[in-house]
Amino acid sequence: MDFELSEDQRAFAETARQFALAELAPHAAEWDAQAIFPRDAIAKAGELGFCGLYAPESAGGLALPRLDATLVFEQMAAVDPSTTAFITIHNMATWMLGTWATPAVREHWGPLLTSGRKLASYCLTEPGAGSDAAALKTRAERDGDHYVIHGGKAFISGAGATDVLVLMARTGAGGAGGISAFVVPADAPGIHYGKKEEKMGWNSQPTRQISFDGVRVPADHLLGQEGEGFRIAMKGLDGGRINIATCSVGAAQGALRHAQRYLHERKQFGQPLASFQALQFKLADMATELVAARQMVRLAAAKLDAGAPDASTYCAMAKRFATDAGFAVINDALQLHGGYGYIREYPLERLLRDARVHQILEGTNEIMRVIIARRLLQDAPLDGLTD
Protein backbone atom coordinates (compact mmCIF):
# COMPACT_ATOMS: atom_id res chain seq x y z
CA MET A 1 0.00 0.00 0.00
CA ASP A 2 1.34 3.44 -0.97
CA PHE A 3 1.14 5.75 2.04
CA GLU A 4 2.39 8.81 0.12
CA LEU A 5 -0.14 11.39 -1.01
CA SER A 6 -0.22 12.48 -4.63
CA GLU A 7 0.42 16.04 -5.72
CA ASP A 8 -3.30 16.56 -6.33
CA GLN A 9 -4.18 15.21 -2.88
CA ARG A 10 -1.68 17.52 -1.23
CA ALA A 11 -3.12 20.44 -3.17
CA PHE A 12 -6.66 19.60 -2.00
CA ALA A 13 -5.45 19.39 1.60
CA GLU A 14 -3.58 22.68 1.36
CA THR A 15 -6.61 24.43 -0.15
CA ALA A 16 -8.72 23.12 2.73
CA ARG A 17 -6.12 24.29 5.27
CA GLN A 18 -6.03 27.78 3.83
CA PHE A 19 -9.84 27.91 3.77
CA ALA A 20 -10.01 26.80 7.40
CA LEU A 21 -7.50 29.42 8.52
CA ALA A 22 -9.21 32.21 6.59
CA GLU A 23 -12.92 31.40 7.02
CA LEU A 24 -13.26 29.18 10.11
CA ALA A 25 -10.46 30.02 12.54
CA PRO A 26 -11.38 33.70 13.09
CA HIS A 27 -15.00 32.88 13.91
CA ALA A 28 -15.17 29.35 15.35
CA ALA A 29 -15.13 30.45 19.00
CA GLU A 30 -17.88 33.03 18.40
CA TRP A 31 -20.06 30.52 16.51
CA ASP A 32 -19.66 28.11 19.42
CA ALA A 33 -20.35 30.68 22.16
CA GLN A 34 -23.37 32.22 20.41
CA ALA A 35 -24.69 29.05 18.72
CA ILE A 36 -24.46 30.63 15.25
CA PHE A 37 -25.00 28.43 12.20
CA PRO A 38 -22.47 29.81 9.66
CA ARG A 39 -24.32 29.38 6.38
CA ASP A 40 -22.18 31.99 4.64
CA ALA A 41 -18.97 30.16 5.52
CA ILE A 42 -20.47 26.84 4.42
CA ALA A 43 -21.50 28.44 1.12
CA LYS A 44 -17.89 29.56 0.65
CA ALA A 45 -16.82 25.96 1.26
CA GLY A 46 -19.30 25.00 -1.45
CA GLU A 47 -17.61 27.38 -3.88
CA LEU A 48 -14.46 25.27 -3.46
CA GLY A 49 -16.39 22.04 -4.05
CA PHE A 50 -16.31 21.01 -0.38
CA CYS A 51 -20.10 20.52 -0.19
CA GLY A 52 -20.10 17.83 -2.88
CA LEU A 53 -16.72 16.19 -2.54
CA TYR A 54 -17.81 12.64 -3.36
CA ALA A 55 -21.24 13.28 -4.83
CA PRO A 56 -21.49 12.07 -8.45
CA GLU A 57 -20.70 14.46 -11.26
CA SER A 58 -24.28 14.06 -12.55
CA ALA A 59 -25.38 15.93 -9.41
CA GLY A 60 -22.70 18.60 -9.72
CA GLY A 61 -20.26 16.90 -7.35
CA LEU A 62 -16.53 16.28 -7.69
CA ALA A 63 -16.89 12.47 -7.43
CA LEU A 64 -13.65 12.27 -5.43
CA PRO A 65 -12.58 9.09 -3.64
CA ARG A 66 -13.47 8.94 0.04
CA LEU A 67 -9.76 8.97 0.81
CA ASP A 68 -9.40 12.38 -0.83
CA ALA A 69 -12.42 13.69 1.07
CA THR A 70 -10.78 12.74 4.39
CA LEU A 71 -7.86 15.01 3.55
CA VAL A 72 -10.18 18.00 3.17
CA PHE A 73 -12.26 17.25 6.26
CA GLU A 74 -9.21 16.70 8.46
CA GLN A 75 -7.76 20.11 7.67
CA MET A 76 -11.01 21.91 8.44
CA ALA A 77 -11.70 19.91 11.60
CA ALA A 78 -8.32 20.88 13.01
CA VAL A 79 -9.80 24.38 13.38
CA ASP A 80 -13.57 23.83 13.77
CA PRO A 81 -14.83 20.25 14.27
CA SER A 82 -18.45 21.34 14.72
CA THR A 83 -18.88 23.18 11.41
CA THR A 84 -16.78 20.59 9.60
CA ALA A 85 -18.90 17.76 10.98
CA PHE A 86 -22.03 19.40 9.60
CA ILE A 87 -20.35 19.75 6.20
CA THR A 88 -19.57 16.01 6.29
CA ILE A 89 -23.21 15.20 7.07
CA HIS A 90 -24.32 17.45 4.23
CA ASN A 91 -21.86 15.64 1.94
CA MET A 92 -23.31 12.27 2.96
CA ALA A 93 -26.91 13.35 2.33
CA THR A 94 -25.92 14.99 -0.97
CA TRP A 95 -24.14 11.82 -2.10
CA MET A 96 -27.20 9.72 -1.28
CA LEU A 97 -29.48 12.07 -3.23
CA GLY A 98 -27.07 12.25 -6.14
CA THR A 99 -26.69 8.47 -6.28
CA TRP A 100 -30.27 7.25 -5.85
CA ALA A 101 -32.63 10.11 -6.70
CA THR A 102 -34.70 10.16 -9.87
CA PRO A 103 -33.20 12.28 -12.68
CA ALA A 104 -35.68 15.13 -12.11
CA VAL A 105 -34.99 15.34 -8.36
CA ARG A 106 -31.24 15.00 -8.88
CA GLU A 107 -31.20 17.73 -11.53
CA HIS A 108 -33.12 20.11 -9.26
CA TRP A 109 -31.41 19.52 -5.92
CA GLY A 110 -27.96 18.25 -6.96
CA PRO A 111 -26.39 21.54 -8.14
CA LEU A 112 -27.97 23.47 -5.28
CA LEU A 113 -26.54 21.11 -2.66
CA THR A 114 -23.11 20.48 -4.13
CA SER A 115 -22.58 24.24 -4.47
CA GLY A 116 -23.58 24.89 -0.86
CA ARG A 117 -26.39 27.25 -1.92
CA LYS A 118 -28.83 24.84 -0.26
CA LEU A 119 -28.11 22.48 2.63
CA ALA A 120 -29.29 18.99 3.55
CA SER A 121 -30.03 17.11 6.78
CA TYR A 122 -29.98 13.35 7.24
CA CYS A 123 -33.00 11.96 9.09
CA LEU A 124 -32.62 8.41 10.42
CA THR A 125 -32.61 8.51 14.24
CA GLU A 126 -35.89 8.49 16.18
CA PRO A 127 -36.64 8.91 19.88
CA GLY A 128 -37.11 5.14 20.20
CA ALA A 129 -34.76 4.01 17.42
CA GLY A 130 -31.16 5.05 17.90
CA SER A 131 -28.71 2.17 17.83
CA ASP A 132 -31.54 -0.09 16.60
CA ALA A 133 -32.23 1.98 13.51
CA ALA A 134 -34.20 -0.84 11.83
CA ALA A 135 -36.88 -0.34 14.50
CA LEU A 136 -37.85 3.12 13.20
CA LYS A 137 -41.59 3.85 13.13
CA THR A 138 -41.97 6.91 10.90
CA ARG A 139 -44.32 5.78 8.10
CA ALA A 140 -44.75 6.76 4.46
CA GLU A 141 -48.04 5.55 2.93
CA ARG A 142 -48.58 5.60 -0.81
CA ASP A 143 -51.53 7.76 -1.86
CA GLY A 144 -51.80 7.95 -5.64
CA ASP A 145 -48.80 9.83 -6.99
CA HIS A 146 -47.66 10.92 -3.51
CA TYR A 147 -46.42 9.45 -0.25
CA VAL A 148 -47.91 10.72 3.01
CA ILE A 149 -45.47 10.78 5.94
CA HIS A 150 -46.31 10.56 9.65
CA GLY A 151 -43.84 10.26 12.52
CA GLY A 152 -40.87 11.93 14.12
CA LYS A 153 -37.09 12.11 14.08
CA ALA A 154 -34.63 13.11 16.82
CA PHE A 155 -31.11 14.58 17.06
CA ILE A 156 -31.17 15.85 13.48
CA SER A 157 -28.16 18.02 12.65
CA GLY A 158 -29.08 21.25 10.89
CA ALA A 159 -32.80 20.73 11.42
CA GLY A 160 -34.74 23.95 11.05
CA ALA A 161 -31.88 25.63 9.18
CA THR A 162 -31.50 23.33 6.15
CA ASP A 163 -33.44 23.14 2.91
CA VAL A 164 -33.96 19.45 2.21
CA LEU A 165 -34.20 16.28 4.29
CA VAL A 166 -33.00 12.81 3.32
CA LEU A 167 -35.52 10.78 5.29
CA MET A 168 -35.82 7.10 6.19
CA ALA A 169 -39.43 5.95 6.68
CA ARG A 170 -41.31 2.68 6.82
CA THR A 171 -43.27 1.73 3.71
CA GLY A 172 -43.62 -1.97 4.50
CA ALA A 173 -43.56 -4.48 7.33
CA GLY A 174 -41.31 -4.34 10.39
CA GLY A 175 -37.56 -4.71 10.17
CA ALA A 176 -34.93 -3.39 7.81
CA GLY A 177 -36.68 -4.66 4.66
CA GLY A 178 -39.68 -2.40 5.19
CA ILE A 179 -37.73 0.89 5.16
CA SER A 180 -37.52 3.28 2.22
CA ALA A 181 -35.64 6.54 1.66
CA PHE A 182 -37.09 9.87 0.50
CA VAL A 183 -36.08 13.38 -0.45
CA VAL A 184 -38.34 15.79 1.46
CA PRO A 185 -38.28 19.59 1.08
CA ALA A 186 -37.59 20.95 4.56
CA ASP A 187 -40.42 23.49 4.34
CA ALA A 188 -43.12 21.04 3.22
CA PRO A 189 -46.51 21.57 4.91
CA GLY A 190 -46.89 19.33 7.96
CA ILE A 191 -43.25 19.48 9.04
CA HIS A 192 -42.73 20.91 12.51
CA TYR A 193 -39.38 21.57 14.19
CA GLY A 194 -38.78 21.29 17.91
CA LYS A 195 -36.70 23.58 20.07
CA LYS A 196 -33.01 23.88 19.38
CA GLU A 197 -31.28 21.45 21.73
CA GLU A 198 -28.77 22.87 24.18
CA LYS A 199 -25.69 20.73 23.74
CA MET A 200 -22.27 20.19 25.25
CA GLY A 201 -20.63 20.82 21.89
CA TRP A 202 -21.38 21.10 18.17
CA ASN A 203 -22.92 24.50 18.91
CA SER A 204 -22.30 25.96 15.45
CA GLN A 205 -24.94 23.61 14.06
CA PRO A 206 -28.52 23.40 15.35
CA THR A 207 -29.94 20.06 16.50
CA ARG A 208 -33.71 19.57 16.71
CA GLN A 209 -36.46 17.00 16.69
CA ILE A 210 -38.67 16.95 13.60
CA SER A 211 -42.30 15.81 13.46
CA PHE A 212 -44.12 14.86 10.25
CA ASP A 213 -47.89 15.27 10.28
CA GLY A 214 -49.40 14.18 6.97
CA VAL A 215 -46.47 15.48 4.93
CA ARG A 216 -47.07 14.83 1.24
CA VAL A 217 -44.13 14.26 -1.10
CA PRO A 218 -44.31 13.28 -4.78
CA ALA A 219 -43.72 9.59 -5.49
CA ASP A 220 -40.68 10.46 -7.61
CA HIS A 221 -38.98 11.73 -4.43
CA LEU A 222 -38.33 8.11 -3.44
CA LEU A 223 -34.63 7.21 -3.39
CA GLY A 224 -34.03 3.93 -5.17
CA GLN A 225 -36.86 1.44 -4.79
CA GLU A 226 -39.28 0.77 -1.95
CA GLY A 227 -37.60 -1.36 0.70
CA GLU A 228 -34.07 -0.22 -0.20
CA GLY A 229 -33.92 2.55 2.38
CA PHE A 230 -32.08 0.68 5.10
CA ARG A 231 -29.45 -0.55 2.65
CA ILE A 232 -29.00 3.03 1.39
CA ALA A 233 -28.77 4.30 4.98
CA MET A 234 -26.10 1.76 5.89
CA LYS A 235 -24.08 2.55 2.77
CA GLY A 236 -24.27 6.19 3.75
CA LEU A 237 -23.16 5.42 7.27
CA ASP A 238 -20.02 3.58 6.14
CA GLY A 239 -18.83 6.85 4.66
CA GLY A 240 -20.33 8.82 7.54
CA ARG A 241 -18.25 6.82 10.02
CA ILE A 242 -15.10 7.62 8.07
CA ASN A 243 -16.11 11.28 8.01
CA ILE A 244 -16.66 11.51 11.76
CA ALA A 245 -13.47 9.55 12.45
CA THR A 246 -11.66 12.06 10.25
CA CYS A 247 -13.14 14.95 12.22
CA SER A 248 -11.69 13.39 15.38
CA VAL A 249 -8.29 13.02 13.72
CA GLY A 250 -8.44 16.64 12.59
CA ALA A 251 -9.48 17.93 16.00
CA ALA A 252 -6.69 15.92 17.63
CA GLN A 253 -4.17 17.29 15.14
CA GLY A 254 -5.26 20.82 15.97
CA ALA A 255 -4.95 20.10 19.69
CA LEU A 256 -1.51 18.56 19.24
CA ARG A 257 -0.29 21.66 17.39
CA HIS A 258 -1.52 23.88 20.22
CA ALA A 259 0.23 21.64 22.76
CA GLN A 260 3.51 21.74 20.84
CA ARG A 261 3.48 25.54 20.78
CA TYR A 262 2.46 25.82 24.41
CA LEU A 263 5.27 23.54 25.64
CA HIS A 264 7.79 25.87 24.00
CA GLU A 265 6.16 29.08 25.24
CA ARG A 266 5.27 28.20 28.84
CA LYS A 267 8.01 28.17 31.49
CA GLN A 268 8.03 26.52 34.90
CA PHE A 269 10.93 26.27 37.37
CA GLY A 270 12.95 28.51 35.08
CA GLN A 271 12.76 26.41 31.92
CA PRO A 272 10.25 25.74 29.14
CA LEU A 273 7.84 22.88 29.63
CA ALA A 274 9.30 21.30 26.48
CA SER A 275 12.48 20.50 28.43
CA PHE A 276 10.71 18.13 30.84
CA GLN A 277 11.09 14.52 29.74
CA ALA A 278 7.76 13.42 31.19
CA LEU A 279 5.97 15.95 28.98
CA GLN A 280 8.10 14.98 25.99
CA PHE A 281 6.99 11.37 26.46
CA LYS A 282 3.36 12.45 26.72
CA LEU A 283 3.65 14.42 23.47
CA ALA A 284 5.30 11.44 21.75
CA ASP A 285 2.47 9.12 22.79
CA MET A 286 -0.14 11.62 21.60
CA ALA A 287 1.53 11.90 18.18
CA THR A 288 1.82 8.12 17.87
CA GLU A 289 -1.86 7.56 18.67
CA LEU A 290 -2.84 10.29 16.23
CA VAL A 291 -0.80 8.84 13.37
CA ALA A 292 -2.20 5.36 14.05
CA ALA A 293 -5.75 6.73 13.96
CA ARG A 294 -5.09 8.66 10.74
CA GLN A 295 -3.68 5.61 8.98
CA MET A 296 -6.61 3.43 10.09
CA VAL A 297 -9.07 6.00 8.76
CA ARG A 298 -7.27 6.23 5.44
CA LEU A 299 -7.12 2.44 5.17
CA ALA A 300 -10.88 2.21 5.76
CA ALA A 301 -11.48 4.94 3.17
CA ALA A 302 -9.33 3.07 0.65
CA LYS A 303 -11.29 -0.12 1.38
CA LEU A 304 -14.57 1.72 0.80
CA ASP A 305 -13.26 3.24 -2.44
CA ALA A 306 -12.21 -0.21 -3.66
CA GLY A 307 -15.56 -1.82 -2.75
CA ALA A 308 -13.79 -4.37 -0.55
CA PRO A 309 -16.08 -6.98 1.06
CA ASP A 310 -14.74 -6.10 4.51
CA ALA A 311 -15.04 -2.33 4.01
CA SER A 312 -17.93 -1.91 6.47
CA THR A 313 -15.94 -3.65 9.20
CA TYR A 314 -12.92 -1.45 8.59
CA CYS A 315 -15.12 1.64 8.65
CA ALA A 316 -16.45 0.51 12.04
CA MET A 317 -12.92 -0.15 13.34
CA ALA A 318 -11.68 3.21 12.11
CA LYS A 319 -14.62 5.04 13.66
CA ARG A 320 -14.22 3.26 17.00
CA PHE A 321 -10.47 3.73 17.22
CA ALA A 322 -10.12 7.24 15.80
CA THR A 323 -12.90 8.79 17.86
CA ASP A 324 -11.60 7.23 21.09
CA ALA A 325 -7.96 8.02 20.33
CA GLY A 326 -8.76 11.51 19.05
CA PHE A 327 -10.67 12.42 22.19
CA ALA A 328 -7.82 11.08 24.35
CA VAL A 329 -5.24 13.16 22.45
CA ILE A 330 -7.33 16.32 22.85
CA ASN A 331 -7.83 15.59 26.56
CA ASP A 332 -4.08 15.14 27.01
CA ALA A 333 -3.43 18.39 25.14
CA LEU A 334 -5.82 20.18 27.48
CA GLN A 335 -4.02 18.66 30.47
CA LEU A 336 -0.68 19.90 29.16
CA HIS A 337 -2.12 23.42 29.14
CA GLY A 338 -3.03 23.14 32.81
CA GLY A 339 -5.65 25.65 33.93
CA TYR A 340 -5.33 27.57 30.66
CA GLY A 341 -6.70 24.59 28.78
CA TYR A 342 -9.91 24.83 30.77
CA ILE A 343 -10.71 28.42 29.87
CA ARG A 344 -12.15 29.68 26.61
CA GLU A 345 -9.21 31.91 25.77
CA TYR A 346 -7.63 28.75 24.39
CA PRO A 347 -9.43 26.44 21.92
CA LEU A 348 -8.73 23.19 23.77
CA GLU A 349 -11.97 23.06 25.75
CA ARG A 350 -13.99 23.70 22.54
CA LEU A 351 -12.15 20.98 20.64
CA LEU A 352 -12.78 18.60 23.54
CA ARG A 353 -16.50 19.37 23.72
CA ASP A 354 -16.95 19.09 19.98
CA ALA A 355 -15.08 15.78 19.72
CA ARG A 356 -16.92 14.04 22.55
CA VAL A 357 -20.07 13.36 20.53
CA HIS A 358 -18.07 11.59 17.83
CA GLN A 359 -17.98 8.53 20.08
CA ILE A 360 -21.79 8.48 20.06
CA LEU A 361 -23.13 9.40 16.63
CA GLU A 362 -23.02 7.49 13.33
CA GLY A 363 -23.43 4.42 15.53
CA THR A 364 -22.05 4.41 19.06
CA ASN A 365 -18.62 2.93 19.62
CA GLU A 366 -20.30 0.06 21.43
CA ILE A 367 -22.25 -0.71 18.25
CA MET A 368 -18.99 -0.49 16.27
CA ARG A 369 -17.66 -3.27 18.48
CA VAL A 370 -20.77 -5.34 17.74
CA ILE A 371 -20.21 -4.93 13.99
CA ILE A 372 -16.53 -5.89 14.25
CA ALA A 373 -17.13 -8.87 16.54
CA ARG A 374 -19.97 -10.15 14.38
CA ARG A 375 -17.69 -10.45 11.37
CA LEU A 376 -14.93 -12.08 13.39
CA LEU A 377 -17.31 -14.63 14.93
CA GLN A 378 -18.66 -15.47 11.49
CA ASP A 379 -15.06 -16.33 10.59
CA ALA A 380 -15.36 -13.99 7.62
CA PRO A 381 -12.10 -12.95 5.94
CA LEU A 382 -10.51 -9.84 7.39
CA ASP A 383 -7.14 -8.78 6.03
CA GLY A 384 -4.33 -9.46 8.48
CA LEU A 385 -6.54 -11.27 11.01
CA THR A 386 -7.08 -14.61 9.27
CA ASP A 387 -5.08 -17.78 9.77
- Tens-place pLDDT, residues 242-265: 999 999 999 999 999 999 999 999
d(Cα 265, Cα 291) in Å, to the nearest integer?
24
Phi-psi region of 214 (alpha: psi -120 to 50; beta: other; left: phi over 0): left
| Range 7-114 classified under CATH 1.10.540.10 | yes
Active site residue 289: no
Q: Is it true that 7-114 and 230-377 share their CATH fold?
A: no
* Segments making up each domain of the chain, as ranges: 7-114, 120-226, 230-377
Q: What is the pLDDT of residues 26-84, one digit of tens each?
A: 999 999 999 999 999 999 999 999 999 999 999 999 999 999 999 999 999 999 999 99
What is the mean pLDDT of the segment spanning 351-376? 96
pLDDT tens-digit readout, 198-218: 999 999 999 999 999 999 999
pTM: 0.95
pLDDT at 384: 58
Exactly one of 30, 107, 362, 366 is catalytic; name it.
362
CATH H superfamily, domain 230-377:
Butyryl-CoA Dehydrogenase, subunit A, domain 3 (1.20.140.10)
pLDDT at 312 over 90: yes
CA–CA dist 149, 362 (Å, integer)? 24
Domain 120-226 annotated CATH 3.40.1010.10: no
Q: Torsions phi, psi of 272, nearest 5? A: -65, 150
For 173-198, the pLDDT digits (tens) are 989 999 999 999 999 999 999 999 99
- The count of other CB atoms within 10 Å of the CB of residue 43 is 15
Instruction: Say how far apart CA 204 and CA 213 lie, in whole Å.
Output: 28
pLDDT band at residue 2 under the 50/70/90 scheme: low
* Strand 120-123 with 139-143, pairing: unpaired
Average pLDDT for the chain? 96
**CB-side exposure of 194: number of CA atoms within 13 Å?**
15
Distance in angstroms (rounded) separating the CA atoms of residues 188 and 193: 12
Residue 269, classified by CB atoms within 10 Å of its CB into exposed (0-12), middle (13-18) or buried (19+), is exposed
